[in-house]
Amino acid sequence: MKKSATKKRTARTRRDFFILRLYIAGLTPNSVTAISNLKNICETKLKGKYRIEVVDLLEKPQLAKGDQIIAIPTLVRRLPPPVKKIIGNLSKTESVIVGLDLQPAR
Amino acid sequence: MPSAKPKPRTAGISLAKAPTGIQGLDEVTGGGLPKGRVSLVCGNAGCGKSLLAMEFLVHGALRYGEPGVCMNFEETEEKLTANVASLGFDLRALARQKKLLIDYVFIERNQITEAGEYNLDGLFIRLAHAVKTIKAKRVVLDSVQALFAGVADSAILRSELQRLFRWLEDQKLTAIVTGEAGVHTLTRHNLEEYIADCVIALDHRVTEQISTRRLRIVKYRGTSHGTDEYPFLIDEEGISVVPITSLALTHKALIERVSTGIPALDEMMEGKGFFRGSSVLVTGTAGTGKSSMAANFVSAACARGELCLYFTFEESPSQILRNMRSVGLNLERWVRKRLLHFNAMRPTSTGLEGHLAAIHKLIARQRPSIVVIDPITNLISASGSYDVKSMLVRLVDFLKVAQITSIFTNLTFAGDPQARTAAAVSSLMDTWIVLRDSKPNGRPKRELYVLKSRGMAHSRVARELIVSDRGLELGSLLGDHSMDGAEGGAAKVALGE
């Protein structure tokens, strides 16, 4: 309870902080690609303002329901709201940037 | 890993079946859906496919000890639970007992961006997890079409669906996949191409404001099945399908006789009356006493302690009771003794199929020895262009197999004594009694003759039918019925009988 309240405050005070959760199912080529693509994009666009959680559904299948996961890999932008989802290995960088609603590089 | 024990096959090469528990459906499929396979149930919105799928799971859980998972793409657990609560299904209780697990899969298209390669492992994992949690044997995917709306790359989706169906079979799960009907295809995305074993199409048509529901088995590998459309009913107990009860004329002809309730009429039929289990058609113009004849028969049967079901399409039961009192028949006492059951239906409330399904179901439950359908005319008028006769054949067959004696009344019109409707059904009937008005000497009279009665030497003369407060009696001989010609002027303007 306390934890989520803290989280909410963080969200309210830091609108620009991103919490990203990447759902994978084992270390498949697509999953590995997605992880490295995501790291690259975040380092370029969100340095110091993001946290990535990787969830392996093979280990925690019960978590698939909460975020309504169908496709693998799926990236969920949990913060800032609204929730957004990007499916695929994140190789289309432009789509990821648009999907996450990141400011385009100028 | 699964044990290496081979599954015992029931009988040689015959396919193992998973019963649906749906009345009639297991009969027309020869025992249920193919066990360990994927079946497709398709049809338009509102045709009942979700209900069929849900019943498959609920009955599986309750009757056959097979827990089930419902992966629902359209409705939340709460909505689904509320939807079937009216059928007496308590999904929450089943979920608590780990007999049922509902997983609502919500796909919000505009939340999702696609950026690179993916597959549907998430869905697989969810399903596998649900199946494992309750050790499910049955799975419903309702309806996977929603995935097409949520996933832009339909090539991926198609190959993933194929993989999903294969996975279900590898897991030996009996599954129903539902699909929306397409414009020119069974389903909108040709799901039928991936389902090899069993495809069932449901149909809900409204013609002339009358709704009819039908079920057709499009394919069922390894099982002989009728290609007919079977009418089905959705009521407070869920789905019931009217099967063809006898594909061959194999019912046993009984030699036992039952009184018609009119001694003189019995006399015309070898002194014994109808054969038990036979079907009797009573035709006549308005006001000739068709209902009275039927009621008389019923009253005599009740007096012998036999159970009677009386389906009325024109009058309310209380109207019939009152009218019959006026001809000296006290039917109330049989109603009170629960020997006589009335079922009043509006002919236009549903199509012929719906009526037949309802009749079928009631008869199957109550197992009466006498059934009256009064009048059949209205049933025929409730049907559209659909083949009335084949539907009635099924009903008559069903009654004969169940050894139920049945009386069908049919209104004919003056000048058209053997109306087309009567002609259409008369060949199904064992006995045909004709009632009509005549004016032999300018004085109107009702007359009765037995036009046919299979298997007996019946009288072929017309007798006067006397309907009074003392009941029905036959009067004097009016001559051979072949001397027709009295109908013309006999069109009596009768308001009910």
CATH of residue A73: 3.40.30.10
Local confidence band at B9 (pLDDT 50, 70, 90 cut-offs): very low
Local confidence band at B3 (pLDDT 50, 70, 90 cut-offs): very low
Examine residue A71 and state whether it is found in any structural domain, yes or no: yes
Q: Is the pLDDT of residue B6 over 50?
A: no
Spatial distance between the Cα atoms of B244 and B224, rounded to a whole number of angstroms: 14
Examine residue A105 and state whether it is found in any structural domain, yes or no: no
Query: Smallest Cα–Cα separation from A75: which of A98, A57, A49, A99?
Result: A99
Tokens of A97: 């940037």
Spatial distance between the Cα atoms of B290 and B294, rounded to a whole number of angstroms: 6
Residue from the list B107, B114, B128 with its beta carbon closest to the beta carbon of A70:
B107
Measure in Å the smallest separation between the Cα of A103 and chain B Cα atoms: 16
Local confidence band at B112 (pLDDT 50, 70, 90 cut-offs): confident
The chain B residue lying nearest A64, using CA atoms, is: B126
Kindly report the number of other CB atoms within 10 A of residue B401's CB atom.
Answer: 14
Spatial distance between the Cα atoms of A6 and A4, rounded to a whole number of angstroms: 5
Examine residue A7 and state whether it is found in any structural domain, yes or no: yes
- Residue B249: what pLDDT? 56
Kindly report the number of other CB atoms within 10 A of residue B469's CB atom.
Answer: 9
User: In the predicted model, what is the mean pLDDT of residues B95-113?
Assistant: 89
Name B330's Cβ contacts closer than 8 Å, sequence gap at least 6: B299, B324
The answer to whether residues B291 and B323 touch, using CB atoms and an 8 Å cutoff, is yes
The answer to whether residues B449 and B419 touch, using CB atoms and an 8 Å cutoff, is no
* B113:A83 CB<8 A: no
The chain B residue lying nearest A83, using CA atoms, is: B111
For B400-426, the pLDDT digits (tens) are: 888 899 999 888 776 554 455 556 677
Query: Is beta strand B17-18 parallel, antiparallel or unpaired with respect to B229-235?
Result: unpaired
- Residue B245: what pLDDT? 52
Tokens of B238: 């869920």
Maximum distance among all Cα pairs of chain B, rounded to whole angstroms: 96
Residue from the list B105, B108, B116 with its beta carbon closest to the beta carbon of A89:
B116
Q: Which residue has the tokens 């058209």?
A: B416
* B114:A85 CB<8 A: no
Kindly report the number of other CB atoms within 10 A of residue B332's CB atom.
Answer: 14
Spatial distance between the Cα atoms of B32 and A15, rounded to a whole number of angstroms: 57
* A71:B103 CB<8 A: no
Q: Is the pLDDT of residue B337 over 60?
A: yes
- Residue A87: what pLDDT? 93
- Residue B357: what pLDDT? 76
Spatial distance between the Cα atoms of B127 and A56, rounded to a whole number of angstroms: 16
The answer to whether residues A20 and A68 touch, using CB atoms and an 8 Å cutoff, is no
A interface residues, B as partner, C-beta within 8 Å: 23, 25, 30, 33-34, 37, 57-58, 61-62, 64-65, 68-74, 82-93, 95-96, 98-99
User: In the predicted model, what is the mean pLDDT of residues B288-315?
Assistant: 91
List the single best residue of A32, A70, A74, A95 to mutate versus B (max B Cβ within 10 A): A70
- 8-state DSSP, B482: T
Kindly report the number of other CB atoms within 10 A of residue B168's CB atom.
Answer: 20
Spatial distance between the Cα atoms of B192 and B185, rounded to a whole number of angstroms: 9
The chain A residue lying nearest B120, using CA atoms, is: A71
Examine residue A53 and state whether it is found in any structural domain, yes or no: yes
Mapping DSSP onto H, E and C, the string for B50-84 reads: HHHHHHHHHHHHHHCCCCEEEEECCCCHHHHHHHH
Spatial distance between the Cα atoms of B119 and B161, rounded to a whole number of angstroms: 10
Q: What average pLDDT is seen over chain B? A: 82
Query: Residue B171: phi, psi to the nearest 5?
Result: -80, 0
Measure in Å the smallest separation between the Cα of B85 and chain A Cα atoms: 25
Query: Is beta strand B210-220 parallel, antiparallel or unpaired with respect to B198-207?
Result: antiparallel
For B120-178, the pLDDT digits (tens) are: 999 999 999 999 999 999 999 998 888 887 788 888 888 999 999 999 999 999 999 99
Local confidence band at B480 (pLDDT 50, 70, 90 cut-offs): low
Measure in Å the smallest separation between the Cα of B145 and chain A Cα atoms: 14
For B346-378, the pLDDT digits (tens) are: 766 666 667 777 888 888 888 999 999 988 876
The chain A residue lying nearest B109, using CA atoms, is: A85
List the single best residue of A37, A77, A87, A101 to mutate versus B (max B Cβ within 10 A): A87
Helices B388-401 & B352-366 angle (0-180, nearest 10): 0
The secondary structure of B14-38 as a DSSP string is PPPEE----BTHHHHTTSSEETTSE
Q: Is the pLDDT of residue B232 over 90?
A: no
Q: Which residue has the tokens 């009728």?
A: B226
Tokens of B166: 């294969």
For B36-74, the pLDDT digits (tens) are: 999 999 998 888 999 999 999 999 999 999 999 999 998
Domains of chain B: 17-111+118-241 (3.40.50.300), 257-490 (3.40.50.300)
Local confidence band at B341 (pLDDT 50, 70, 90 cut-offs): very high
Spatial distance between the Cα atoms of B25 and B215, rounded to a whole number of angstroms: 9
The answer to whether residues B309 and B343 touch, using CB atoms and an 8 Å cutoff, is yes
Which residues of B123-278 form beta strands (DSSP E)?
138-142, 174-180, 198-207, 210-220, 229-235, 238-241, 257-258, 274-275
Q: Is the pLDDT of residue B243 over 70?
A: no
- Residue type for position B128: A
Local confidence band at B188 (pLDDT 50, 70, 90 cut-offs): confident
Give B115's contacts in chain A (Cβ within 8 Å). Answer: 86-93, 95-96, 99
Query: Residue B164: phi, psi to the nearest 5?
Result: -65, -45
Measure in Å the smallest separation between the Cα of A57 and chain B Cα atoms: 7
The chain B residue lying nearest A55, using CA atoms, is: B122
**To the nearest 10°, the Cα dihedral for B241, B244, B250, B253?**
70
Give B111's contacts in chain A (Cβ within 8 Å). Answer: 82-85
* B147:A98 CB<8 A: no
Higher-confidence position of B41 and B232:
B41
* B103:A65 CB<8 A: yes
- Residue B182: what pLDDT? 82
For B433-473, the pLDDT digits (tens) are: 988 887 767 777 888 989 889 888 888 888 888 888 888 88
Residue from the list A62, A64, A90 with its beta carbon closest to the beta carbon of B115:
A90
Tokens of B191: 């799901």
Query: Smallest Cα–Cα separation from B310: which of B369, B353, B256, B251?
Result: B369
The chain A residue lying nearest B112, using CA atoms, is: A85
Give A34's contacts in chain B (Cβ within 8 Å). Answer: 116
Question: The domain containing residue A19 runs over which residues?
Answer: 2-89
Spatial distance between the Cα atoms of A15 and A80, rounded to a whole number of angstroms: 6
The chain B residue lying nearest A81, using CA atoms, is: B111
- Residue B68: what pLDDT? 97
Q: Is the pLDDT of residue B492 over 80?
A: no
Please state whether the predicted TM-score (pTM) of the whole model is above 0.95. no
- Residue A58: what pLDDT? 95
Q: Which residue has the tokens 């070898």?
A: B270
Residue from the list B115, B123, B126 with its beta carbon closest to the beta carbon of A86:
B115
Q: H helices within B73-200, ranges in order?
A: 77-85, 91-96, 121-134, 145-150, 154-170
List the single best residue of B109, B110, B117 to mutate versus A (max A Cβ within 10 A): B117
Examine residue A94 and state whether it is found in any structural domain, yes or no: no
Spatial distance between the Cα atoms of B223 and B122, rounded to a whole number of angstroms: 35
- Residue B493: what pLDDT? 32
pLDDT (tens, 9 = 90+) of chain A, 106 residues, equals: 445 555 555 544 566 799 999 999 999 999 999 999 999 999 998 988 999 999 999 999 999 999 999 999 999 999 888 889 999 999 999 999 988 888 654 4
**Cα A91 to the chain's mean position, in Å?**
14
Residue B494: C-alpha distances to residues A96, B204, B289, B468 (Å): 81, 38, 11, 17
The H or E element containing residue A31 is helix A29-45
Query: Smallest Cα–Cα separation from B335: which of B322, B347, B326, B345?
Result: B322
Examine residue A29 and state whether it is found in any structural domain, yes or no: yes
Query: Residue A71: phi, psi to the nearest 5?
Result: -95, 155
The answer to whether residues B298 and B324 touch, using CB atoms and an 8 Å cutoff, is no
The chain B residue lying nearest A23, using CA atoms, is: B122
* A64:B122 CB<8 A: yes
Q: Which residue has the tokens 């006769």?
A: B389
Higher-confidence position of B492 and B125:
B125
Give B119's contacts in chain A (Cβ within 8 Å). Answer: 30, 71-72
The H or E element containing residue B326 is helix B317-326
Number of structural domains chain A divides into:
1
